Chains A and B, each alone.
Chain A
Amino acid sequence: MSQPVISVHDLVKTYGKVEAVRGIDLEVGAGEIFGFLGPNGAGKSTTISILCTLIRPTSGVAEVAGIDVLKDPSAVRARIGLVFQDPSLDGQLTGRENLDFHAYLYGLPAATRRQRIDDALSIVELTDRAGSTVLTYSGGMRRRLEIARGILHYPQVLFLDEPTLGLDPQTRNKIWDYLHAVRTREHITIFMTTHYMDEAEFCDRIAIIDQGKIVALGTPAELKSKVGGDVVSIATPDMAGAAEQLRTVMHLESTQVDGTLQFEVPDSSSFMPRLFSELTVPITTVSARRPSLDDVFLKLTGRAIREQSNTSLDTMRNMGRIWGGGRR
């Protein structure tokens, strides 16, 4: 990475006594798709908001496109594209009008404005629907339009905050196809947050953030190799006994996840016969799989990253989605 597009050093953000971000360091190279991964409240949105100049950091340095976010926020904003967590389109305008609005705000030259909007629409395959009001768009289409809008002014970095939140899995995968197309066509760096572990696999590199700190950083393969071997999970009526026996007899540390005991072994197929012969507690089910990023998170933090029950904020967001395009 000769010239990082994003570089962050010892970034801290506190709200009163609450430390949302507690000393983050990272660099992102040009053309990378960089994923910022962690549970709700880990500090992802705060960090991305600082990089987008929406929030001032308490201390530390953050540079985007070589510009300090504190020294020249306007210059940073001109060079970045944003896709917010919450929808931010005008439902009564057409897709094209929403892009036109953005083109004016960001000062796209009049001569190429129309062509550029056409190009952006075609990347996200919304050319046919460009003349319909956004009210008539599905959730996935709105996200695609927001991506087209985010890249319209030729930014060097596209920031996306939970771009796939609330979308069904098929739509989520399509969004990823578009993001990869955008990266290839626009030579753009993509920085995104997500709490879907499976999505992080689409990134070139990921940083796992927990309680305001980066706990792991690397390619998905590198992170998964930290788990080592296979993940075995067993279900048993006697959790405590099984965990005890795993520890004393087989020298394996297990973690309780969703009513099963999980642990890692170098090779699950040769391990299975030993499991049944050496454990005396009854075992109802056994499964083994290659490690996922969920396992990485579990190993690093001792907790599972999972969908938390809807907070009131999430509920409001969903209402925002329903009403977002509504009449106003």
Chain B
Amino acid sequence: MSEQVLSAPTLPRAQSVNIRGATLRAIYIIWKRDLIRYGRDRMRLLASLAQPILFLFVFGSGLSSTLRGTRGGFGGPGSSLQYVQFIFPGIIGMSVLFTSILGAMSIVWDREFGFLKEVLVAPIHRSAVAIGKTLGGATQAMLQGLVILILAPLVGVKLTFVGVVELIPLIFLFAFALSALGVAVAARMRTMQGFQVVMNFLMMPMFFLAGALFPLGGNLPTWLAVLTHLDPASYGIDALRRSVLSASGVPAAILDKLGLSLFGSPLSIWTELAVLIAFGVLMLGLAVYGFRQRD
């Protein structure tokens, strides 16, 4: 049974494996799959606006009126900055944070439902899975963050075209760092039971510590100030706030006073971006390592 079959001439059987080229293609298709799924899930797009709306218009407006009563504006005497405007960049950050981490968690779903096996047995480098999933998660989170900008006019935040264009790489970097963190965690998770743990011990603390809802530059207790500085999301949200609000006409002095500072001097947006890049690259390394170790 073999001779004529073995020499079947028309079939282009795999001869040599070009792992590098294969890995790049794999990164692309893993990223593309995430986007196809994202685009197909219309409900998720709608649902993703619900939480920001609650925060901005119920929580934000509620507190705004109280805070206005005590002081001239949220930025201090003489400032016209409203609380709801202050948290607006924070809510973009929240959206990016949640989408990034949840997007990375889809790896655990894939593992549970068997699809991950299809990827892991392919003749590609395992890093493709970590990189592809990080980029896929980051792209989704970036889109989710940008969607929140639709609400800007409703809270009195003015956007300029240039401002929005500048926001795109900023949000993407933020989303990349958080997605890499999510993938690094998800690579080590076997079951969906760990999911609640991630929600309660990673996502929520990161959100609350990031200064999305209160200024990090205030007189925080030392322990809290230390924790907020350890939260990578703090740097992303502060960078978002500087970018969005300064474009909207809030003076840099007020932003410095409200924002993240280290040893008394306010951090520049570039320092914050550098922190995000360093954190993202470190996490991506851990994610790649996680996938090489297991399975």
Within 8 A of A (CB), among B1-58: 1-3, 5-6, 8, 11-14, 17-19, 21-22, 25-26, 28-29, 33, 36-37, 40-41
CB distance from B249 to the nearest CB of A (A): 43
Judge whether B18 and A328 touch: CB under 8 Å: no
B contact face: mostly helix, strand, loop, or mixed: helix
Whether A105 pairs with B119 at a CB distance below 8 angstroms is: yes
Q: Are A153 and B14 in contact, with the CB atoms below 8 A?
A: yes
**Cβ 8 A contact of A90, one of B14, B21, B33:** B33
Interface residues on B, range: 35 or more
Q: How far is the CB of B125 from chain A (nearest CB, A)?
A: 9
- With a cutoff of 8 Å between Cβ atoms, the chain B residues found around residue A31 in the complex are 1-2, 5-6
Report B195 CB to chain A, min CB distance, Å: 12
Interchain nearest-CB distance for A35 vs B (Å) = 15
| B143 → chain A closest CB, angstroms | 17
Type the 1/0 row for B112-134, where 1 means its CB is closer than 8 Å to any CB of A: 11110111011110000000000
Contacts of B114 in A (CB 8 A): 84, 86-89, 320, 324
Q: Kindly state whether residue B106 has any CB partner on chain A within 8 Å.
A: yes
Give Cα A65 to B40, complex, Å. Answer: 40
**Contact indicator B8/A52 (Cβ below 8 Å):** no
Residues of A contacting B36 with CB < 8 Å? Answer: 92-93, 97
Q: A155: which of B14, B29, B109, B118 is its contact (CB, 8 Å)?
A: B14
| Bound complex: CA A15 to CA B123 (Å) | 26
- B13 with A154: CB separation less than 8 A: yes
Cβ-defined contact, B37 with A92, below 8 A: yes
Q: Which of A32, A87, A107, A133 has the most CB of B within 10 A?
A: A107
CB-CB nearest 4 A-B residue pairs: A104-B29, A31-B5, A88-B114, A187-B8
27 A-B residue pairs with CB within 8 Å: A1-B2, A3-B2, A29-B2, A30-B6, A74-B17, A74-B19, A75-B17, A78-B14, A79-B14, A86-B117, A89-B118, A90-B115, A92-B41, A93-B33, A101-B33, A104-B25, A112-B12, A149-B118, A153-B14, A154-B11, A154-B12, A187-B8, A187-B11, A320-B112, A320-B114, A324-B114, A328-B113
